[in-house]
Structure 1
Amino acid sequence: MNRSGAISAHIALIVLGVLFVIPLVWGISASLHTNATIFLNPFQWLPSPAHWSNFGKAWSSQSFGLYMWNSFFIAFAITIFCVIFSQMAGYGLSQFKFFGRDVIFGTIVSTLLLPFPAIMVPVFIFTKDMGWINTFAGVIVPGIITAHAVFFMRQYLSGLPSELLWSARIDGASEWTVYWRIVVPLTGPVVAAVGVLTFVASWNNLLWPLIVIQSKSHYTIPLGLSNFNDTYFTNYVEMMAMSMVAVIPVILLFLFVRRWLINSLMVSGGGIKG
C-alpha cells in the first residue's frame, strides 16, 4: 500500500472509530441528565449539573448486583461449554475423514441461515419437558454449542500441520493426548474469538431469558433493564446509567483478550501454517 492509500485507510479507521464511540459517549451523557432534560438538548454532552447520583439510584432501585452476577454466571458457563464442545467438533470435522463429514459440516453451516425465532418453539418445548423453566439450566443448555462456533473452530483447525499431529501419533501418543497436549494449546487465538463472541451474545441476550425466566431472583441484566420501562413511564436516565455499567465487563473482556483477537484475525485467512 502506498503512502496516500495508507493515510486514507487510517482516516477511514479514525472516522469509523469515532462513529462507534459516539453512542457510548452519548449514553454516558444521557445517564447524567434528568428525565425532564434528557431530550431537551440531546447533544449537550456534559449536562450542568451532572447528576452522578443517577447511578446510585438505579443500582439501589433494583437488585442489579444480583442481576449482574446472574448474567456473568450464565454467560461464563455458556462460553466455557461452547468453547469446549465446538473445539472438539471442529477438531473432528477438520482432522478425521469419515463418511458424511462434509454433509454434517454443511448441515451445521446451513443452520446459520435460521433465525432463532424459527426454532424457538421446539427449543422451548424441549426445555419445558426437561423441567428447566425458571432455572439457569434452561438458559444455559440451549446455548452451549452454536453453529458459528463450530464453523470458526473447524476453519481454524483445518490449518493445523498434519505432520505435527502424525509425528506425535508415531511417537505413541494417544488421540486424547494429541488433542490436549498439541491441538488445544495451539487454538488460543480462535478460542479468544469464539469466547468473546459467545460471551457478548450471552451477556446481551434478552429474548430467551425473557421466555424462560419467571422469578426476579434469576433475572439477568437485560431483564433488569426492561424493568425501567412500564406502561406509563420510562426512567430513561436510570436505564442508561445501568446500561453503561453493564457495558464495563464487556469492555474489560475485550481489553484482556485483544492480543489473541488480533492473532486470530491475522491467521483467519489460512489457519496455522507449518
Structure 2
Amino acid sequence: MRKLFIYAALIVVTLFVLGPFIWMLSTSLKPADEVLTATPMLWPHPVEWSNYAAAWRSAPFSRYFLNSLFISGVETAFDLTLGAMAAYAFARLEFAGKRPLFLALLATLMVPGELLLIPNYITVAKLHWMSTYQGIIVPWLVSVFTIFLMRQFFLSMPSEIFEAAELDGLHPVRTLFQIVMPLTKPVWITAGLIKFIGSWNSFLWVVVVSNSQSLDTVPVGLMNFTSDVGTEYNQLMAAATFCMVPLAIVFLIGQRYFIEGITRSGIR
C-alpha cells in the first residue's frame, strides 16, 4: 500500500508537470478559431501541421538559433573553465582570506539578477558594447553557482589524488585539467547543462542590450507572434515547441551525468 501511494503521488505530480507541455503541443496543432473557444478542447480538429511551417517562416528563426547556440556555447565554455579554476582554488589551495572571500561570493547568490541590470547596462554602455555579442556575453561569463557546485564536488574527492599530483610536481592548473577533470565528468556536465539552459532561456538582458534583430536569440524571437492587435497563439506554441527541442536533446543526452553530479556534490 505504501508503494502504491508513492507511485500514485508520482503519477499525479508527473501529469501536473507534463500538463503545460501537452497543452502547448495541442495548441500548436489547432486552427486559429479553435485556440480561444468557450469550451477548451485538448485534441485539435482538424490537426494543422502547417502551423509549424508558418511559425518558422514568420521570423528568421535560423538566425535566432545560431545566435542562441553561439551565445550559450561561449558563455558555457568560459563559465566551466573559469568556474572550475576558482572552485579548485577554494577547495584545494590555501591563501589569505579564502573563507571570507568564498562567503562573499555565496552572498551574491541572494542578489536578484534583475538588480544587476542597471550596473551591467551602464558598464556595457560605457564600453560601447551596446548591440554587440560581447555586450550580451561578457557580463555572464562566470556563475557563482558553478563555482559552488564544483567546489563541493572537488571537496568530496580523496586527498591522496592531490597529494600524489603534488609529489609528481604538477602545477595546480595541470592537476585540475589533466587529473581532476577526467574524474569529475558528472559535475562538469551538470554545471554545463545548467549554464547552457539558463543562457538559452535568457530574455531580458538581450532585450535591454540589443537593438538589432541580427543579434536576437530564440526567446526574443518568440515575441514576433505578439502585436498590438493580438497574439497568434497557435503559431506561438508551434514556435515554442521547436525552440524547446534543442534543450530537450541536450538534457536527455546528459541526464545521467546531471543526476549524478547533483547527488555527489552534496546538493540534495
Classify the TM-score, shorter chain. Answer: over 0.9
Deviation at 1:191, TM superposition (A): 1.1
1:23 partner letter: P
Render the CA deviation track for 1:21-72: whole Å, top value 9, x for unaligned.
1111110100111332112167422211111101101101110111111111
For the aligned residues, what is the CA RMSD? 1.7
Q: Quick one: structure 1 residues 11 and 269, their matched pair in 2 at CA, closer, same or farther if it must change by over 3 Å?
A: farther
Unpaired segments of 5 or more residues in structure 1? none
Q: Given the alignment, which residue of 15, 24, 27 partners 1:27?
A: 24
- Distance in 2, matches of 1:130 and 1:154, equals 33
1:14 partner letter: I
Q: Given the alignment, which residue of 29, 48, 63 partners 2:60?
A: 63
Following superposition of structure 1 onto structure 2, how do residues 51-130 of structure 1 map, counting pairs within 5 Å? 51-130=48-127
- Distance in 1, matches of 2:95 and 2:39, equals 60
Q: Quick one: structure 1 residues 56 and 41, their matched pair in 2 at CA, closer, same or farther if it must change by over 3 Å?
A: farther
Partner of 1:186: 183
> Does 164-173 or 35-44 show the bigger shift?
35-44
Structure 2 residue 21 is the aligned partner of structure 1 residue 50: no
Q: Quick one: structure 1 residues 42 and 160, their matched pair in 2 at CA, closer, same or farther if it must change by over 3 Å?
A: farther
Q: Given the alignment, which residue of 229, 233, 240 partners 2:230?
A: 233
1:265 partner letter: I
- Distance in 1, matches of 2:155 and 2:38, equals 54
Partner of 1:134: 131
Q: Given the alignment, which residue of 5, 12, 16 partners 1:15?
A: 12
Structure 2 residue 250 is the aligned partner of structure 1 residue 250: no
Deviation at 1:7, TM superposition (A): 3.8
Q: Quick one: structure 1 residues 43 and 191, their matched pair in 2 at CA, closer, same or farther if it must change by over 3 Å?
A: farther
Partner of 2:170: 173
1:74 partner letter: I
- Distance in 2, matches of 1:6 and 1:173, equals 52
- Distance in 1, matches of 2:185 and 2:48, equals 43
1:233 partner letter: G
Q: Quick one: structure 1 residues 42 and 269, their matched pair in 2 at CA, closer, same or farther if it must change by over 3 Å?
A: farther
Unpaired segments of 5 or more residues in structure 2? none
Structure 2 residue 247 is the aligned partner of structure 1 residue 261: no
SS of 1:97's equivalent?
coil
Q: Quick one: structure 1 residues 42 and 163, their matched pair in 2 at CA, closer, same or farther if it must change by over 3 Å?
A: farther
Mapped contact 2:79–2:141 kept (Cα < 8 A): yes
- Distance in 1, matches of 2:5 and 2:200, equals 36
- Distance in 1, matches of 2:252 and 2:99, equals 37
Deviation at 1:108, TM superposition (A): 0.8
Render the CA deviation track for 1:176-195: whole Å, top value 9, x for unaligned.
32122111112211111111
- Distance in 1, matches of 2:71 and 2:5, equals 42
1:58 partner letter: A
Deviation at 1:215, TM superposition (A): 0.9
Partner of 1:163: 160
Structure 2 residue 195 is the aligned partner of structure 1 residue 198: yes
Deviation at 1:175, TM superposition (A): 2.3
- Distance in 1, matches of 2:85 and 2:264, equals 20
Sequence identity percentage: 32
